[in-house]
């Protein structure tokens, strides 16, 4: 790895900047929008337990592997994989990891921006006091009006995509670091405030119970696959986003420690979001299986009844917009970096091109909530297909290939040097965690799905 490669895209100013930016990538709609509704749909506690196990046994090792490959390669995922495969005397076809990654990033970005658009819209709606004293029916009606209006959603989706392209066009250090520095702490404090409110809502015991006490009769093989897929989604793993950020990491950073910090922050935020939302669900007799619209129906209700609700809800949705923004940036970055490296495009031109293409595809997701609601493939809408294909298939597949490559095909010297492993024992532990447990975990999860079918 040479400093020249790094000079192509820029570099983080230090360890903290990387941890913040990677946390900015990890913490987003996945934690606050997706995790609660998936836990709700899949029976609560058992889903959460499987999710936590997947974070620890599969996600964390792969996170460490991704950062390591990224720093070693110093380029976008396709080129990093090609370069590292060559350097270790392996076949160049390992770069397929990078190609899957670009595809997955692009697909996720397309629907991510639509949901982020809902959040932007909710920031403004909160600010004008629409949710003051709102009832459960009122909150559903307000959401229903947005979901039914494709044109309005398109406007918000467009705004969000432009925001994303704008930051990426400016480049990594200036664009990304600033955003991440203060956002995470403030978001964290606000979530704690909301959990505090949830404790007074009358549904806390039931909500906490639902989320934290596993009832294995409620989880299916499909639920287990979903929990694992979501571990990848939430940690931003499997498509090379973290590999991409790893490319901008200075050589003296301790990768393992950084990986642990990022995974912990991400997990805490998801659990807090669950603890803020489910008490409100139960206190108001809502259905935990509501699906992707869950937070848009429950949070306004909580804010509507809370003292200072207008202030808190506006702040919350603005922060969630920013969290989604810092995640979307990491989705577009691998595609942009690839275009810059291989097509000699300027960052700005590449960002605009990728954003426009993903914007266009996002229209399919918008229509899934209104005009195309009935248009399904195997019972899934356009949005659900895009989500399933990426979260449940491409990310676990990409992540497994990353783990297998790092553990079995990368040379021992490279691993030990990058991770600072000094003993045979440390190296063996790395090999077991990344080369055996993580891939085997993914396999076991997929096999559990077969039980469902048979």
CB of 108 to ligand TRP, least distance (A): 6
Taking CB under 6 A as the binding criterion, the range among 228-236, 243-251, 341-349, 360-368 that sits at the site for ligand TRP is: 228-236
- Measured distance CA(76)–CA(102) in Å, rounded: 10
Among 23, 31, 298, 305, binds ligand TRP (CB under 6 A): 31
The residue (of 22 and 415) whose beta carbon lies closer to ligand TRP is 22
Reading the block at residue 441, the tokens are: 């975990």
For position 25 contacting ligand TRP by CB under 6 A, the verdict is yes
Question: Count residues contacting ligand TRP (CB under 6 A)?
Answer: 16
Site for ligand TRP contains 239 (CB under 6 A): yes
Q: Does 172 bind ligand TRP (CB under 6 A)?
A: no
**Under the criterion CB under 6 A, does residue 279 sit at the interface with ligand TRP?**
no
Q: Segment near ligand TRP (CB under 6 A), from 2-10, 229-237, 306-314, 381-389?
A: 229-237
Q: Does 30 bind ligand TRP (CB under 6 A)?
A: yes
User: Residue 447 corresponds to which tokens in the numbers above?
Assistant: 């096999």
Structure tokens at 30: 């996945």
CB of 206 to ligand TRP, least distance (A): 26
Per CB under 6 A, does 236 bind ligand TRP? yes
Q: Give the whole-angstrom CA distance, residue 304 versus residue 129.
A: 9
The answer to whether 331 contacts ligand TRP (rule: CB under 6 A) is yes
Report the nearest approach of ligand TRP to the CB of residue 230 (Å): 9
- What are all long-range contacts of 348-353, with beta carbons under 8 Å and residues at least 24 apart? 348/169, 351/165, 351/166, 351/168, 351/169, 352/165, 352/169
Does 326 interact with ligand TRP (rule: CB under 6 A)? no
Least distance in angstroms from the C-beta of 453 to ligand TRP: 26
Q: Is 108 in the site for ligand TRP (CB under 6 A)?
A: yes
Among residues 110, 78, 44, the alpha carbon closest in space to that of 279 is found at: 44
Taking the C-alpha atoms of residue 207 and residue 294, their distance in angstroms, rounded to an integer, is: 14
Which single residue brings its beta carbon nearest to ligand TRP? 30
Q: What is the DSSP string of 300-332?
A: HHHHHHSTTHHHHHHHHHHHHHHHHHHHHHHHH
Report the DSSP beta bridge partners of residue 380: 377
Nearer to ligand TRP (CB atom), residue 33 or residue 204: 33
Residue 28 binds ligand TRP (CB under 6 A)? yes
CB of 240 to ligand TRP, least distance (A): 8
Which stretch in 40-48, 212-220, 327-335, 412-420 sits in contact with ligand TRP by CB under 6 A? 327-335
When the beta carbons of 37 and 197 are compared against ligand TRP, the nearer one is 37
* 327 lines the binding site for ligand TRP (CB under 6 A): yes
Burial 405-423 (b: 16+ CB within 10 A, else e): bbbeebeeebbbebbebee
Stretch that binds ligand TRP, among 29-37, 129-137, 255-263, 313-321 (CB under 6 A): 29-37
Binding mask 333-372 for ligand TRP (x = CB under 6 A): ----------------------------------------
Dist. CA 343–CA 349, nearest whole Å: 11
Per CB under 6 A, does 39 bind ligand TRP?
no
First-to-last C-alpha distance (Å) of the chain: 49
290 near ligand TRP, rule: CB under 6 A: no
The residue (of 22 and 433) whose beta carbon lies closer to ligand TRP is: 22
Please report how close the Cβ of residue 39 comes to ligand TRP at its closest, in angstroms: 14
Q: How far is the CB of 58 from ligand TRP (least distance, A)?
A: 14
Alpha-carbon span 266 to 255, nearest angstrom: 17
Q: Should residue 233 be labelled a site residue for ligand TRP when binding is judged by CB under 6 A?
A: yes
Asked if 226 and 42 touch (Cβ cutoff 8 Å), the reply is: yes
Give one DSSP letter per residue of 173-202, joined into a string.
Answer: IIIIIHHHHHHHHHHHHHHHHHHHHHHHSS
From candidates 23, 234, 313, 368, binder to ligand TRP by CB under 6 A: 234
CA atoms of 126 and 198, how far apart (whole Å): 19
Name which of residues 381 to 420 contact ligand TRP (CB under 6 A): 395
Please choose, from the candidates 271, 308, 283, the residue with its C-alpha nearest in 3D space to the C-alpha of residue 129: 308
Cα–Cα–Cα angle for 79, 84, 85, nearest 5°? 100
Dist. CA 327–CA 23, nearest whole Å = 9
Kindly state whether residue 113 participates in binding ligand TRP, applying the rule CB under 6 A.
no
Q: Which tokens hold the place of 307?
A: 């003292």
Q: Which residues bind ligand TRP (CB under 6 A)?
A: 25-26, 28-31, 108, 233-234, 236, 239, 241, 327, 330-331, 395
């Amino acid at each position: 790895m040479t400093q020249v490669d790094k000079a192509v895209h820029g570099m983080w100013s230090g360890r903290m900047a990387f941890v913040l930016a990677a946390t900015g990538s990890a913490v987003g709609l996945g934690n606050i929008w997706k995790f609660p509704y998936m836990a709700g749909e899949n029976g609560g506690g058992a889903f959460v337990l499987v999710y936590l196990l997947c974070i620890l046994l599969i996600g964390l090792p792969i996170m460490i592997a991704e950062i390591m490959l990224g720093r070693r390669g110093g380029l976008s995922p396709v080129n990093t994989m090609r370069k590292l495969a060559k350097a270790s005397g392996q076949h160049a076809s390992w770069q397929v990891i990078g190609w899957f990654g670009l595809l997955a990033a692009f697909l996720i970005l397309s629907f991510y921006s639509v949901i982020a658009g809902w959040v932007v819209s909710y920031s403004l709606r909160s600010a004008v006091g629409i949710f003051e004293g709102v009832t459960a029916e009122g909150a559903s009606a307000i959401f229903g009006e947005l979901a039914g209006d494709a044109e309005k959603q398109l406007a918000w989706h467009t705004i969000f995509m432009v925001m994303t392209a704008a930051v990426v066009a400016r480049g990594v250090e200036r664009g990304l670091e600033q955003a991440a520095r203060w956002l995470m702490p403030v978001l964290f404090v606000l979530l704690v405030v909301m959990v505090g409110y949830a404790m007074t809502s009358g549904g806390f015991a039931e909500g906490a119970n639902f989320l934290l006490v596993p009832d294995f009769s409620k989880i299916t093989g499909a639920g287990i696959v979903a929990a694992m897929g979501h571990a990848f989604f939430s940690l931003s793993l499997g498509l090379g986003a973290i590999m991409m950020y790893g490319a901008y990491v200075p050589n003296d950073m301790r990768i393992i420690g950084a990986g642990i910090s990022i995974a912990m922050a991400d997990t805490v935020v998801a659990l807090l979001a669950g603890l803020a939302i489910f008490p409100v669900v139960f206190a108001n007799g809502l259905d935990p299986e509501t699906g992707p619209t869950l937070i848009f129906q429950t949070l306004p209700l909580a804010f509507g009844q809370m003292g200072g609700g207008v202030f808190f809800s506006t702040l919350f949705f603005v922060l969630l917009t920013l969290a989604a923004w810092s995640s979307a940036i990491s989705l577009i970055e691998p595609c942009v970096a690839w275009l810059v490296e291989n097509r000699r495009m300027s960052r700005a031109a590449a960002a605009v091109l990728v954003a426009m293409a993903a914007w266009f595809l996002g229209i399919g997701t918008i229509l899934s909530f209104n005009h195309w609601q009935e248009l399904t493939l195997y019972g899934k809408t356009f949005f659900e297909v895009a989500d399933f294909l990426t979260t449940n298939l491409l990310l676990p597949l990409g992540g497994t290939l990353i783990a297998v490559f790092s553990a079995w095909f990368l040379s021992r010297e490279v691993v030990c040097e990058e991770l600072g492993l000094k003993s045979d024992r440390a190296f063996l532990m790395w090999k077991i965690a990344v080369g055996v447990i993580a891939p085997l975990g993914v396999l076991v999860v997929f096999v559990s799905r077969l039980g469902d079918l048979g």
